[in-house]
Structure 1
Amino acid sequence: MTDAVLQSPHLRLAADSNEVLNYRRDPHNYITQLFGEQLPAIKTGLFNVHLTKGIIVQPHWHTNVNETVFVISGEVITSVFNPCTQRLMTYCLRAGQVSLLPLGWFHWIIAESEHAHILTIFDQPIPDIVYGSDFLRCTPKEVMQQAYCISEQDYAKAVAPIRESVILGPPIGCFQNNQNNMSAQFPNHTGYYPQK
């Protein structure tokens, strides 16, 4: 054995993934974490995510990790944009089911049940996260106009409500026009809908 961590006389091989709060939107929607800082022997890392219906782990991508979503309870929709085929791949998952979100691929997760509990497990100890909210609010309106022929004023107005990184959305107090089942919004998905 050459791993110094495993040779330590203070080696611990267990930890509590509920102890370190990563983000809290409200008492029912929050993320805790377990990474190398909490358990030095771990070679991966995970977020322990609790969601209620309609809450979204906002669109983002990772520059350094693949992510596996494991559903402990409830039902979620995972969507990932495949840059190779230019297709959105959407999967409805229930307890015990898994989806993979490859490194660098834009993705998000939406809670479909009243309560959902998932683990997002990474193949490296610490994920680098690029939030869609940061990309949208930090890209100058002049760049969006030049790149996509979007009115600078329209773009500025559209992103004005995004004042900080959004991790679990929608932001508290955001008016929602549609509280319908999210799966109805993906009629042309390329996904896996398991048997009930």
Structure 2
Amino acid sequence: MATPDIDYTQPDVQYFFDINKNRLKTRNAENFINRLGRENLNTLGNVSLLDIYLSKGRVVEPHYHQNASELVYCISGTARVSLINPFNNVITNVTIAPGQVANIPQGWWHWEVALEDSTHLLAIFDAPYPEYIFGSDILTKTPIEVLAHTYCLDPELLRKTLKPLDNQTIIIGPTDECVSEMHKRQAYPSYTNTTSHPHAAPQYQYPPQNNFNYGNR
């Protein structure tokens, strides 16, 4: 779709942009996201993208895009893309390798987990700038009292549980501090799929062993 309200005869028309110069999030040298939108390249139509680099076990935190669908293309490595169907509340898990894609409809809650180091994903959106609502923001911006009352939780325990988030938008998790602590305690999460895409393994654990090596992160 052509970009509306742009005069292609003007000298400020842009046909090139270096996405490496527009960082959305940096977790560390191996985990970061670059972004391209119409504010970077004014000839873009209804399209934008995120260039995502992840090491094994890192997660693009649960979130949704209220204004765009997302097509995730795997360039290198392997990733598990998980989404919740809002029509039946069923979780679908899709494993993608280089050359494979996963599609997330507009507004669906989803997340991506890198299953190996040097995973590189390209997320393409049908909007000139994808809007985001991240899980960490939902947890930290909703008053503790509201969560505690609504779900019958102990407010002090909840406050203690959420304190490590420290009102920050995580985007790429776990944080380096959390990874370091898990490594010291040899305590890692285990994920089990209850519903999977036909091309995805029906069950997996991450990490598979307690001696999993995060590397020098």
Under a length normalisation based on structure 1, what TM-score does the superposition of the two structures give? 0.88
**C-alpha RMSD of matched pairs (Å):** 2.1
Match of 1:18 in 2: 20
Number of residue pairs aligned between Structure 1 and Structure 2: 191
Q: Judge conservation of contact 1:6–1:41 (CA < 8 Å) in 2.
A: no
Which shows bigger deviation, 90-99 or 147-156?
A: 147-156
1:193 corresponds to 2:203:
no
Query: Relative to 1, partners in 2 of residues 1:2 and 1:166: Cα closer, same or farther, differing over 3 Å?
Result: closer
Write out per-residue CA displacement over residues 134-164 of structure 1, whole angstroms, 9 at most, x where no aligned residue: 1111222221122111121221121111111
Match of 2:81 in 1: 78
Separation in structure 2 between the aligned mates of residue 187 and residue 37 of structure 1, nearest angstrom: 39
In the TM superposition, what are the counterparts of 1:157-196 in structure 2 within 5 Å?
157-163=160-166, 164-174=168-178, 175-176=181-182, 177-178=187-188, 185-193=191-199
Q: 1:194: Cα distance to partner?
A: 6.5
Match of 2:211 in 1: none
Write out per-residue CA displacement over residues 69-126 of structure 1, whole angstroms, 9 at most, x where no aligned residue: 1111110011111110111111111011111122221111110011101111111011
Match of 2:8 in 1: 7
Match of 2:43 in 1: 41
What amino acid is aligned across from residue 125 of structure 1 in structure 2?
Answer: P
Separation in structure 2 between the aligned mates of residue 138 and residue 85 of structure 1, nearest angstrom: 27
What amino acid is aligned across from residue 130 of structure 1 in structure 2?
Answer: I
What is the SS of the residue equivalent to 1:160? Answer: helix
Separation in structure 2 between the aligned mates of residue 126 and residue 158 of structure 1, nearest angstrom: 33
Match of 1:104 in 2: 107
Separation in structure 1 between the aligned mates of residue 8 and residue 162 of structure 2, nearest angstrom: 51
Q: Judge conservation of contact 2:90–2:195 (CA < 8 Å) in 1.
A: no
Match of 2:207 in 1: none
What amino acid is aligned across from residue 170 of structure 2 in structure 1?
Answer: V
Query: Relative to 1, partners in 2 of residues 1:3 and 1:129: Cα closer, same or farther, differing over 3 Å?
Result: closer
Separation in structure 2 between the aligned mates of residue 45 and residue 137 of structure 1, nearest angstrom: 28
In the TM superposition, what are the counterparts of 1:100-139 in structure 2 within 5 Å?
100-139=103-142
Q: Judge conservation of contact 2:3–2:44 (CA < 8 Å) in 1.
A: no
Which protein is richer in strand relative to its size? 1
Which shows bigger deviation, 48-57 or 139-148?
A: 139-148
What is the SS of the residue equivalent to 1:126? Answer: coil
Unaligned runs of 5+ in 1: none
Q: Judge conservation of contact 1:75–1:93 (CA < 8 Å) in 2.
A: yes
Match of 1:29 in 2: 31
Under a length normalisation based on structure 2, what TM-score does the superposition of the two structures give? 0.80
